[in-house]
Amino acid sequence: MSDSLRAEKDAVHLIHQVVDGVTYLHSHGCVHRDLKPENLLMVGRIPDTDEYMQLKICDFGLSAMRAVAVNQDDFDESLQKILGTEEYLAPEVFSTAANHRNGEHYTGKIDVWAIGVIYYIMLSGRFPFNRDDNDAFYLITQIMKGDYDMDCLSGISDDSRELITKCLTAEQDSRPTAFEVMDLAVFKNDKLPEEDLMSIAKLSSMGNYKTWRKKRRVLNAVKAIARLKVAQGAKDSHSTGPVSASDQEALDLYQTIHAHGNADAKGLETYEIVLYMQEQMPHLFQKRDRDTDKLVMCSDRVETFSQLLSEKVDLNHDGYISKDEFVKGYCIWQMYIRKAEMYQQSERNASWIYKH
């Protein structure tokens, strides 16, 4: 793996955590307003430890929090103030200053803009928007126009370029929410390479960071637990003891889907399970359409679930999921469902924080 590819994979893994953290904040009625590298802390200092590639968002001194506002109007009014670090501020922060008397205020999407700036810095080592001889007006003009140079990012993937382009969309109505950013292609396969990682100093202008490396020990531990569960499932399948409640639930569901689909001795095909889940739990595969504010089917979420079944449940990869595979893999895709339901609820909770 080339150094540039490793560097980008590092950056993806780190910014993924930032976006995930922002979705959590927004779902709890908090707009950070001052996201920047200085407010992202590395959990650990020692290379080759589990904490070394983990980030935490800190410094909420400038945050707008619905929980401490007297009412909604008070919260909206707090989103009219120009607060934060200029190089990371979204265009609407400046335009709001001129239009606040009309009740205009910015939204949680200012944090999404800051994510784009941070990721640009990670990959290029420079700011997308710069002062000209300390001229703040020149900086603000660039930000308002969304005028930045993508040529210095020619060596990165199209997926990373998409993230930056979408986050640094000057028109806030066209800019995605943090939840929509989480759905971008760049995060679909966010897995750290098994090889040692390169130094962040080579990709960032933040020279204070030391050279660091990390192996995905957390990922390896998760894989080990998964293998243990599969092994335990195989052991249980040969047991003559009573069937557990979870296994019985899986067996009942298997029979139900089997009865609705095309009966085949080999087992269920992936699409049969996907179609059944789309019918019974459609909300798991839906996202909110920005224009109509209605829930629509998201093909990416359907594909993700389908891949999960093919890769993690169809253990012999013959294209069919047997009864035994279904029962063994039931806990895996049930975890996916629970996570999807929690994510959907968080997205619903945060929907109002993006309205202006």
Distance CA 56, CA 46 (A): 16
Q: Which two tokens stand for residue 340?
A: 């999807």
- Letter for the amino acid at 95? S
Q: For this structure, is 34 an active site residue? A: yes
Nearest CA to 206 out of 28, 1, 42 is that of 42
Distance CA 270, CA 261 (A): 11
pLDDT tens-digit profile, the chain (356 residues): 445 556 888 899 899 999 999 999 999 999 999 999 999 998 888 877 767 788 999 999 999 998 888 888 889 889 998 899 999 999 999 988 766 667 789 999 999 999 999 999 999 989 998 777 667 888 888 999 998 988 888 888 999 999 999 999 999 999 999 999 998 989 886 543 333 333 333 333 333 322 322 333 333 433 443 444 444 454 444 444 555 667 888 888 888 888 776 656 678 888 888 888 888 888 778 877 766 767 788 887 888 888 888 888 888 888 888 888 888 888 777 777 777 777 778 887 888 888 87
Catalytic hit among 10, 34, 111, 314: 34
The reported pLDDT for the residue numbered 25 is 94
Residue ranges per domain, the chain? 3-215, 217-348
The reported pLDDT for the residue numbered 264 is 60
**Reported CATH class of domain 217-348:** mainly alpha
**Reported CATH class of domain 3-215:** mainly alpha
